[in-house]
Amino acid sequence: MNSMTIKPFNYQQDFKRLDFRRYPERYQVGRGEQGVLMVEPYKSEILPHWRFRTPRLARQSADKIMQLFEDYRQAEDFVGMDMARKFIQMGYTRARRYANHKGGRKYDAQRRVLAGKIDKEKARSAAIFKQSWDKLRADEDYLRRKKAHQQKYG
């Protein structure tokens, strides 16, 4: 990791009213998937395409979200690019959770990790999203834009 300190994600913003396309300076990258279901208008643009129930749906979803990522890139919209990346990452992590734990439940009522049995179909869905996520994490243009956004806005 670089020497730049990542600020904690600010959950205190008025996400219901804030348009991050209009005010990209208010957007914080955060860690992992932080804010993925809060940042508008991107949540509303990407969420309808996010699916992982079957490998076929996961492929369609990952392909569509990757296309949105490229559309945001063409529009010089880093926030949109990062939100697309977060949805791809979340596709992987959620599909993995459902692959490892039936119904996606990882913990019992006492917060103990439940034993799991691998669901191969969900594992294939996760692998589809992982492949896309790996591409985004290695995308030099995305990484440059991310660093520039963090240096400019935190």
Give every residue of the chain whose pLDDT is below 50, as ranges: 1-3
Evaluate whether residue 29 is within a structural domain. no
Is 19 inside a domain boundary?
no
Which among 32, 112, 114, 46 is positioned nearest to 104, based on CA atoms? Answer: 114
What would the pLDDT profile of 1-15 be if each residue is shown by its tens digit?
444 555 566 666 777
Model confidence over 96-106: pLDDT tens digits?
998 988 777 77
Q: What is the pLDDT of residue 115?
A: 75
Residue 121 lies in a domain: yes
Tally Cβ neighbours within 10 Å of residue 75.
Answer: 11
Q: What is the pLDDT of residue 7?
A: 58
The predicted model scores a pTM of 0.86
Question: Could you tell me if residue 120 is inside a domain?
Answer: yes
Contact 102, 96 (CB under 8 A): no
Residue 78 placed within a domain: yes
Which structural domain, as residue segments, surrounds residue 112?
Answer: 55-143
Report if residue 1 sits inside a domain. no
* Closest among 49, 62, 54 to 122, alpha carbons compared: 54
What is the total count of domains within the chain? 1
d(CA 20, CA 41): 7
Q: What pLDDT sits at residue 42?
A: 97
- The answer as to whether 25 is a domain residue is no
Q: Contacts by 106-113 with C-beta closer than 8 Å and gap 24+?
A: none
Which pLDDT belongs to residue 108?
A: 76
Is residue 98 assigned to a domain? yes
User: Which is nearest to 115 in space by CA: 94, 97, 101?
Assistant: 101
- In whole angstroms, give the CA distance from residue 149 to residue 98: 33
